[in-house]
Homo-oligomer: A and B are copies of this chain.
Amino acid sequence: MEGIKTYKENKTRYALLGILTVCECTGYDMKKIMENSLLYFWSESFGQIYPTLKKMEEERLVKSKEQVVGQKTRYLYSITPLGKKVLQDWLALPPAPEVIRNELLLKLFFSQPRDRQTVLEHLARQKQRVIENLEVFTATRQQVSSAKDPSQLFRVLTLEYGLRTLRAELDWLEYAEQRIADLCL
């Protein structure tokens, strides 16, 4: 039974290939790009990035250019035509349903009214995070949406997704805090 894909596919390669369609950059840069701004919906660790880049170079999906600056060496990666094709093929495949795991909700679900102080603290911490993310997203949209370039539409849409789900979460957090406060009356 050769040829049957028996294991869940690793998506790291596609995230990296995708970034390389936007710009030539180093592994380090790719991490930054994921952390900052737009790729809030994806993350990778260096422990994944560097070995994956090596493998992809062997497979001719990317190529690297050694850059020596002073004493320092860095590797600028770029995508090959084969890499572009592999990425395109993957983009056309239906995304797998997401496996959702939400630790905050799990804790909430198993908490009792007597735990409400800790629950409120968990909610407050989460609210802080959501507000910070919302600020970043709002600022980013200001910059991006002014450019009416249709080639940017899909990127604007991912940002919009982030904004809307974060706002829904913030609303819920405030609703939840209120409902818990009502318990004490």
CB contacts under 8 Å to B, within A98-151, are 98-113, 115, 118-119, 121-122, 125-126, 129, 150-151
Question: Main SS of chain A's interface residues?
Answer: helix
Roughly how many angstroms separate A111 CA and B160 CA in the complex, as a whole number?
16
Does A42 reach chain B (CB closer than 8 Å)? yes
Q: Which residues of B contact A96 (CB under 8 A)?
A: 103
Interface residue tally for chain A (C-beta within 8 Å) = 65
Copies of the polypeptide in the assembly: 2
Does A47 reach chain B (CB closer than 8 Å)? no
A164 touches B157 (CB 8 A): no
B165 touches A106 (CB 8 A): no
Does A40 reach chain B (CB closer than 8 Å)? yes
Pick out which of these stretches binds chain B: A24-32, A51-59, A86-94: A86-94
Does A161 reach chain B (CB closer than 8 Å)? yes
Q: Which residues of B contact A43 (CB under 8 A)?
A: 99-101
CB contacts under 8 Å to B, within A73-96, are 87-88, 90-92, 94-96
27 contacts between A and B (CB under 8 A): A11-B106, A18-B109, A41-B101, A41-B105, A41-B106, A42-B100, A42-B102, A42-B105, A43-B99, A87-B110, A88-B115, A91-B111, A91-B115, A94-B122, A94-B125, A95-B122, A96-B103, A97-B129, A109-B158, A110-B154, A113-B150, A113-B153, A113-B154, A161-B176, A164-B169, A165-B165, A165-B168
- Interface residues of chain A, those whose CB is within 8 Å of chain B, are 11, 14-15, 18, 21, 38-43, 87-88, 90-92, 94-113, 115, 118-119, 121-122, 125-126, 129, 150-151, 153-155, 157-158, 160-161, 164-165, 167-169, 171-172, 175-176, 179-180, 183
